[in-house]
Structures are given as C-alpha cells and as structure tokens.
Structure 1
Amino acid sequence: MSMAVVGMIAGMALGFAGWFGGFGAFLLVAALGAVGFVAGRFLDGDLELGDFFRLRDDRRDRRR
C-alpha cells in the first residue's frame, strides 16, 4: 500500500472522528495514530529506542 493511500485513510479517520465526536475525539485519534506510527516503525526496525534519548549533537556525529 502506498504512503498516499495510508495518508488518505488516516485523514478520513481523523475527519470522521472530528465530525462525529468533536474536537476531543479528533485529538484522541490523532494522538493514538501517532503512537501507532512510532510503534510500527519501532517493530519494523526503522527506529531504535536509543534514538529518543540521544542528544542532538550525538545524532549529528552519527550521521557523518
């Protein structure tokens, strides 16, 4: 599935949550979507737990 389709589905889910549940439901769906996205990237191996705790200078040195 392409990222465009995934983005469209996420946008539709947020739209339905905002329409039927109000702004609070919109924020809840957006927050849970972000948590799910990070968890999925972590399980796929694209992220490591240490990436969240490194200092900004450490990340620059690692990329060089």
Structure 2
Amino acid sequence: MNAATTGLVAGMALGFAGYFGGFWAFLLVLVLGMAGLLAGLAVQGDLDIPARRQR
C-alpha cells in the first residue's frame, strides 16, 4: 500500500469514529493509531529508539 492509500484509509477511519462516536472516539482512534504506527515502524526497523544512557 502506498502512502496516499494509507492516508485515505486512516482519514476514513477517523471520520467514521468522529461521526458515529463523537470527539472522544475520534481522539481515541487517533491516539491508538499513532501508537500502532510507532510500534509498527519500530518492529520494521524504520524507527530507531535509542536506549537510555546510565549516569
């Protein structure tokens, strides 16, 4: 799936959540979608999460 299709699907999901569930459902879908995106990028290796340095 290319970036335009992914953006379209994400926008439609947020639109449905906002229409049927209201603002808080929209916000919940947005936050969980971002968390899933970050987790997927980390697992795929495209997001580098550095370890905390010990002092």
Q: Normalization by structure 1: what TM-score?
A: 0.76
Q: Give unmatched runs, 5+ long, in structure 2.
A: none
The structure with the largest helix share of the pair is: 1
Which structure: larger Rg?
1
Residue aligning to 2:45: 45
Q: Normalization by structure 2: what TM-score?
A: 0.88
TM superposition outliers: structure 1 runs of 4+ over 3 Å = none
Q: Percent identity of the aligned residues?
A: 56
Aligned alpha-carbon RMSD (Å) = 1.7
Q: Give unmatched runs, 5+ long, in structure 1.
A: 55-64
Find out whether 1:31 has 2:31 as its counterpart.
yes
CA distance in 2, matches of 1:46, 1:26: 27
